[in-house]
Structure 1
């Protein structure tokens, strides 16, 4: 039994990485891992290839789970955004931030994955993110290699057309310094509500996506253009500017912002930035998660006093 437990935990990082990318929520990913562990524990003999067996089980459980929540997410009030994973200085060794999370798990990437069918999503992740061969994927999904290639090809095309392009496909990459500098400018402009300053921070085709889940107020449709986005944050500042405070945090592997109202976490803001050929960096997409049910997992270490 001890050997079985050790073998499972040896692969837990990769299993969590697959489950979170497949499902977009920490709780669902943990539920799948728990179910997979119970099945693993019930085996009378350990498989010849434990990792392949576990990845197969987790993948199939995720596909089943996605099919069940499909209608739920289609009927969701407003846009559905994934639950954030927040890294802290004392949390570098949690399962979410181990080696298996070195590749892209940004909010924008997870959002575009929601457009894929369950099997399409699984095949794409297993091949392009976790670098499994088509023969392995075919066995895991019980499909032919040819059909798996088609699934990955379709999914890859949708990802390339989105804001979630791989870094290698981005012509002008934003440096970490510029990323943090732009977030600082955004926090200042959001606090003051300066519309001109806010507009200048966004690209001409910028989008804003909010997720309140019908629980709290949020934009029900995607906002397009710097003017509409600036007006939104101008209105927020007029009503609540005196109680707002901000904290930069590592959100799904990228710098983002935690916004507080009276010291209570109000929203998690994730960004897609774009640099032009002149080195000017602007915000191309902004995702604002406000659904309080999805904010429960945000680390309490990031709670700050409203006066800061």
Structure 2
């Protein structure tokens, strides 16, 4: 097989690793391009496992990228992952498809920002893609015992509770539709009843679009924000529900462009987190329907 055919066989998986590591579609594509160039320099006959080699290249490039990247430290307001429009993936079974989609959710991706580059690599490779400790240790160049410690540390840092990410898409969409209908009809009592008391709202404008530059805490403050947004919507604004990051998301469309992408995270039937993407640079991959 050629370099190109072997690479294309693994491309979907490689992009999945890079995106979960960086939270950026653009940066992931750059990493894959650099990996492809390095890959072309390798003698295929010298490799025991071409797939393992490719996964190692991409993982190490992603770690190096996160170590060098200072832009998030100087970012204006909260930094949120770039929304990823859903694409068909060739996964072996529905259960694995669900697992991988849950690991794309905005809530999960936002949590990953708490980790160091190596913690994030170990956690993503182990928890999301199911790599064994030996393979992970070779990729991150740590001992297997050290990788186990890093994985435990990452889980503790995230305080990971998988039940928070297990609501089905149909449940998620039903709750979101109720919330959107309450917003549209001005049913503020309904909105307040659906918001958890300790709910948090994050808004990412990147200094390029109007957004709240600090997280909003508490149901009452979030409700006031929603009321202000509702008053400020232009008459030509349209609401669309689309699958983004493996879950239903609300798109606000003005003209032919998506001006906002809103993700909701639920704890039971209560809305615990709202993530609003307003940065136009991160919305380029989302196209309005109709």
For 1:89-115, what per-residue CA distance to the aligned partner results, in whole angstroms no more than 9, with x for missing partners?
xx53599xx959445211111111111
**Other-structure match for 2:249:** 256
Aligned partner of 1:286 in structure 2 is 274
Partner of 1:229: 222
Partner SS for 1:86: coil
Q: What's the CA shift for 1:198?
A: 2.0
Q: Matched residues in 1 for 2:281 and 2:120: separation?
A: 25
State the alpha-carbon separation in 1 of the partners of residues 90 and 234 from structure 2. Answer: 35
In structure 1, what is the Cα distance between the partners aligned to 2:187 and 2:263? 20
Q: CA deviation at 1:188?
A: 2.2
Contact 1:112 1:158 in 2 (8 A): no
Q: How does 1:144-223 map to 2 (within 5 A)?
A: 144-161=143-160, 165-167=161-163, 174-223=167-216
Tell whether the 8 Å contact from 2:103 to 2:109 is kept in structure 1 after alignment. no
- What is the RMSD computed on CA atoms of the aligned residues? 2.2
Structure-2 separation of matches of 1:143 and 1:110: 24
* Partners of 1:193 and 1:236 in 2: CA distance: 12
Find the residue that maps to 2:78 and give its secondary structure.
coil
Aligned positions, number: 284
**2:53 matched to 1:53?**
yes
Partner Cα separation in structure 2 for residue 153 and residue 143 of structure 1: 15
Deviations 1:196-231 (A, max 9, x none): 232122111111000000111111111111111110
Whole-Å separation in 2 of the counterparts to 1:255 and 1:226? 22
Partner of 2:71, secondary structure, is helix
Aligned to 1:119: 118
* Contiguous gaps of at least 5 residues in structure 1: 276-280
TM-score (norm 1): 0.85
Q: Return the alpha-carbon distance in structure 1 between the equivalents of residues 280 and 234 of structure 2.
A: 20
Q: What displacement does 1:142 show?
A: 1.2
Structure 2 counterpart of 1:278: none
Question: Runs of 5+ in structure 2 lacking a partner?
Answer: none
Cα deviation for residue 261 of structure 1 reads 3.4
Counterpart secondary structure, 2:253: strand
Within 2, Cα distance between the matches of 1:158 and 1:247? 35
Give the Cα separation in 1 of the matches to 2:6 and 2:168: 39
